[in-house]
Amino acid sequence: MGLPVPSALATDLYQLTMMAGYEAAGHAATSTFELFVRELPASRRYLMAAGLAQALDYLEGLRFIPDEIAWLRTVPALAAAPVRFFDEVLPAFRFTGDVWAMEEGEIVFAHEPLVRVTAPVMEAQIVETALLAILTFQTSVASKASRVVSAAAGRMVVEFGSRRAHGLGAACLAARAACLAGCAATSNVEAGRLFDLPLTGTMAHSWVMAFDDEIAAFRHYMGLFGEQSTLLIDTYDTVKAAEKIVAAGLRPSAVRLDSGDLGSLSRAVRAILDAGGLPETRILVSGDLDEHRVAALVADHAPIDAFGVGTSISAVSDAPSLGGVYKLVETVHDGQAMPTVKLSSGKHTYPGRKQVWRMGAGIAERDVIGLESDSMREGRPLLSCVMRQGKRLRAASPVMEMAFRARARLGELPVGVTSIDGAEKYPVAISPALDGLARDAVRAHS
Amino acid sequence: MGLPVPSALATDLYQLTMMAGYEAAGHAATSTFELFVRELPASRRYLMAAGLAQALDYLEGLRFIPDEIAWLRTVPALAAAPVRFFDEVLPAFRFTGDVWAMEEGEIVFAHEPLVRVTAPVMEAQIVETALLAILTFQTSVASKASRVVSAAAGRMVVEFGSRRAHGLGAACLAARAACLAGCAATSNVEAGRLFDLPLTGTMAHSWVMAFDDEIAAFRHYMGLFGEQSTLLIDTYDTVKAAEKIVAAGLRPSAVRLDSGDLGSLSRAVRAILDAGGLPETRILVSGDLDEHRVAALVADHAPIDAFGVGTSISAVSDAPSLGGVYKLVETVHDGQAMPTVKLSSGKHTYPGRKQVWRMGAGIAERDVIGLESDSMREGRPLLSCVMRQGKRLRAASPVMEMAFRARARLGELPVGVTSIDGAEKYPVAISPALDGLARDAVRAHS
């Protein structure tokens, strides 16, 4: 069970015109593309890779269905395409390439390939738009959520951002990426079902407002859900609500504060609950939280047990896109692999099939981006083969299991890089062989 | 034909626990919720409403299917729900309410309801998460795209942002909202098909890199697509590429510049094309454009015919989320409509069913948010009934037709509000009756 596989039409028009163009030109060279982020957002020191499972689902399921092909015949921009493009190429189309990738939860830096695709040029090209959208979105969410989880310093973070995500598809995938990066649960029910994620939730202000008074609303909820209930106590007056709970003899599992000065209110509420014999009732806070607000509350020793974080994770408020690109790095001419390079101003690329090695024992010291053919005697290679001839080599792991590995991966990086105020720039070097190849390629075009 | 209707599980867990809670409490009061944005992002003076068609699709199609219900029975948080909740309530569930809404393309300000839902509380509540995600995302894209289109001052803007959207679902909806707001076309093929949008596209750098040399790549493309082709000329050296096109006698419809100083490069390329007998070959530019960069190029009289804009529109880079909320404003007790209010610190709401009137002849002067029962003798009411008893009252209009109306709506606002550097704050007043009701409601809780 998974998300519906995206339509093959979920792509840019030029992917289809180029596909027709390659067909017409008889150009079917085996080509290698790499997907990477050119530069980290200013507010990031690292990225956490995510979305590979959905990317491989897409590649395995990519088909042009008859309805779509019939419609494509009517698209003016494709009017010049050869008839066999519609009659033969599209109906038979499958992705048959090889894919190397970073595992989900791996820590990634600028210029390091997240994914490397080798396939006949038509296949390798047409998947560009979808791979970028799938991988960079989840990677940006996981990277943000990882920071929020770090800031919480062991207190629980739960993801509440579905309503502020970029539509319901994004909401579901954001929940997945957030849990991969260490959120303990999500409120998104669909994501809970599809990805086997722990679900959590409280109540809305409207529940409190829908009854004659606040305590009646609380009693009705606890009448059904009992001591598992989390009561939302800021609809009218947070402190008074806490007092009313104690006075009414209610024993909720937790209370939620969603507005006001969360530091001082959490202290006041904690004192009321403790004095009222409710030391085990936990305090969950929410409301426009991000890693900086979470860190400030933690530093202030606010008696908060859990943070509900929404918009800043699901819409990745401070860095809503990554400069992800998918670039041709090698093409085979007459049986000979030819490295390729783009020299556009400010957008140079490195040629050749690459691998990335993480160097250092215990704590990583630096990465080296090299050629696959580099013989590196130490370091952990970060890219492994995940798909061969269009078939994935292993089923996707459960997200909460990958989350465990992701946490370990993050722990291998220096704290100066991974802490939310960390200013340390993690060193990423280019291997001598790759550097030499890049210089040769530039020379060839000058 | 449309997008697949979202699953009923595409929601927050608490919507389902509250639903079970309302069922258990026997609480089925007719309730009215309003969806609005509390505060505009710092970089916006207005919003453009978008996404209503998908919101109504969602409401009409909302069903819990047997597989989903079977799974919900296993969710620990719902273990306490009454058996009839799974056996009867969920299988029979339909949205049967009334919806009033702003039409797509309408200009909206803070606190003005985009949508007002009146239904039995269980139905009105459960749609919160989806309505927010659907409506605020497209509204934020349309609001951004509207600014980019304004900045282009009549030159064409095309939407190229699919790869940087928050997944493929977001990409498709962003393309729709961008065209609603005045983009002339999109590169997203799926959106073109689903929403009958004009499609556009050029070629990727990889096309140029896949052939032995640049001019061979251009010749191959034009061999198929002829003089309709747009050639991408910045892969190696923009100016040299323009010279090569002229020397080779190619006559492309347009060239695209994607990097470097677009002002000076467009001038250099224009001069080469003109001198080479290609005065009709247009210049399209792209590459991290937003309304400010577009406005600067226009102000500089750069000879640019069209702007391809991606990330800043599809990911809404500078304001990736709107503070959209969905609040209970009225509930019926014993046949009597009771206004409701939330008093949380910094998050007060206005009670009662509202209408918004836009005042002024020709150019709008101010809006008044009042009660539906206000008898306003002038002004244009912005909310109209779009769904009654769960059935939409009319089919959605084609997007490109709504775009025409949207442009007219924008033209009714003062230029100081709609220009991209406009600092004018459009006045929005509260009617005396609404103000009085709000004061009464606050008093009732103090």
Q: What is the 3-state secondary structure (H, E, C) of B392-403?
A: ECCCCCCHHHHH
Instruction: Please give the pLDDT value at position A390.
Output: 98
Mean pLDDT of B27-43: 95
What is the CATH classification number for the domain harbouring A281?
A: 3.20.20.70
pLDDT value at A212 more than 90: no
Check: CB of residue B174 under 8 Å from CB of residue B141.
Answer: yes
Give the separation between CA B74 and CA A235, rounded to whole angstroms.
Answer: 31
Mean pLDDT of A284-297: 97
CA distances for B426 relative to B220, B365, B411, B416, angstroms: 53, 8, 14, 9
Pairing of strands B391-392, B354-359: unpaired
Number of domains in chain B: 1
pLDDT confidence band for B239 (50 / 70 / 90) = very high
Q: Does B316 touch chain A (CB under 8 A)?
A: yes
Backbone angle region of A380, left / alpha / beta, with phi > 0 → left and psi within -120 to 50 → alpha: beta
Is residue A190 situated within a structural domain? no
Instruction: Please give the pLDDT value at position B231.
Output: 97
In this structure, the answer to whether residues A24 and A120 fall within a common structural domain is yes
Give the separation between CA B166 and CA A135, rounded to whole angstroms.
Answer: 10
Q: Angle CA(B442)–CA(B445)–CA(B446) in degrees, nearest 5?
A: 90
Sign of CA dihedral A148, A152, A155, A160: negative
Residues B370-429: pLDDT tens digits? Answer: 999 998 889 999 999 999 999 999 999 999 999 999 999 999 999 999 999 988 899 999
Kindly give the interhelix angle for B214-225 and B238-248, rounded to the nearest 10 degrees.
60
Q: How far is CA B179 from the centre of its chain?
A: 10
Residues A106-121: pLDDT tens digits? Answer: 999 999 999 999 999 9
Instruction: Give residues with Cβ within 8 angstroms of A438, minimum separation 6.
Output: A341, A350, A351, A430
Instruction: Please give the pLDDT value at position A346.
Output: 74
Is residue A297 situated within a structural domain? no
Distinct helix (H) and strand (E) counts, chain B? 18, 19
Is residue B53 situated within a structural domain? yes
Instruction: Please give the pLDDT value at position A341.
Output: 81
Q: Does A9 touch chain B (CB under 8 A)?
A: yes
Q: Which of residues 355-384 of A touch B (CB under 8 A)?
A: none
pLDDT value at A422 more than 90: no
Is residue B246 situated within a structural domain? no
Please give the residue range of the domain that contains residue A213: 202-286
When the pLDDT of each residue in chain A is averaged and rounded to a whole number, the result is 95
In this structure, the answer to whether residues A365 and A411 fall within a common structural domain is yes
Q: Does B109 touch chain A (CB under 8 A)?
A: no
CA distances for B144 relative to A22, B287, B309, B320, angstroms: 36, 17, 11, 10
Distinct helix (H) and strand (E) counts, chain A? 18, 19
pLDDT value at B347 more than 80: no
What order of strands is seen across the sheet that includes strand B428-430? B380-381, B354-359, B366-371, B428-430
Tell me whether residues A33 and B206 touch, CB distance under 8 A: yes
Among chain A residues, CA nearest to B221 = A21
Q: Does A257 touch chain B (CB under 8 A)?
A: no
Please report the DSSP string for A61-105 in residue order.
Answer: H----HHHHHHHTT-GGGTTS-HHIIIIIHHH-----EEEEPPTT
What is the CATH classification number for the domain harbouring B430?
A: 3.20.140.10
Among chain A residues, CA nearest to B82 = A224
pLDDT confidence band for A250 (50 / 70 / 90) = very high
pLDDT confidence band for A1 (50 / 70 / 90) = very low
Residues B313-323: pLDDT tens digits? Answer: 999 999 999 98
Residue A298: exposed, middle, or buried by beta-carbon count in 10 A (0-12, 13-18, 19+)?
middle
Q: Compare CB distances from A13 to B128, B189, B343 and report the shortest one's residue.
A: B189
Is residue B329 situated within a structural domain? yes
pLDDT value at B208 more than 60: yes
Instruction: Please give the pLDDT value at position B2.
Output: 57
In this structure, the answer to whether residues A137 and A20 fall within a common structural domain is yes
Q: Rounded to the nearest 5°, which phi and psi values hold at A347?
A: -130, 30
Percent of chain A residues topping a pLDDT of 90? 89
Q: Which of residues 415-444 of B touch A (CB under 8 A)?
A: none
Residue B324: its H or E element: strand B324-333
Between the two ends of chain B, the Cα-to-Cα distance in Å is 52
Instruction: Please give the pLDDT value at position B393.
Output: 97
Give the separation between CA A350 and CA B140, rounded to whole angstroms.
Answer: 36
Instruction: Please give the pLDDT value at position A444.
Output: 82
| Location of structure tokens 């396939």 | A119
Percent of chain B residues topping a pLDDT of 70? 99
In this structure, the answer to whether residues A261 and A323 fall within a common structural domain is no
Mean pLDDT of B174-184: 98
CA distances for B8 relative to A202, B60, B65, angstroms: 19, 11, 8
Residues B284-329: pLDDT tens digits? Answer: 999 999 999 999 999 999 999 999 999 999 999 999 999 899 999 9
Is residue B299 situated within a structural domain? no
- Model pTM? 0.97
pLDDT value at A228 more than 50: yes
A-B Cβ pairs (cutoff 8 Å, strict): 351
Check: CB of residue B254 under 8 Å from CB of residue B306.
Answer: yes
Q: Does A160 touch chain B (CB under 8 A)?
A: yes
Q: Rounded to the nearest 5°, which phi and psi values hold at A209?
A: -80, -15
Tell me whether residues A21 and B347 touch, CB distance under 8 A: no
Looking at A286, A308, A330, the residue that finishes a domain is A286
Is residue A94 situated within a structural domain? yes
Mean pLDDT of B432-444: 91
Is residue A171 situated within a structural domain? no
Helix ranges (H only) for A355-431 are: 399-411, 415-418
Q: Count of alpha carbons within 13 Å of B89, Cβ hemisphere only?
A: 22
Q: Residue type for A94, please?
A: R
pLDDT confidence band for A58 (50 / 70 / 90) = very high
Q: Does B344 touch chain A (CB under 8 A)?
A: yes
- DSSP, collapsed to helix, strand or coil, labels residue B362 as coil
Q: Which residue in A3, A5, A7, A13 has the most chain B C-beta atoms within 10 A of its own C-beta, making it the best mutation to test that interface?
A: A13
Closest by Cα among B170, B155, B388 to A169: B170
Give the separation between CA A106 and CA A104, rounded to whole angstroms.
Answer: 6
Tokens of B64: 């819990």
Predicted ipTM of the assembly: 0.96
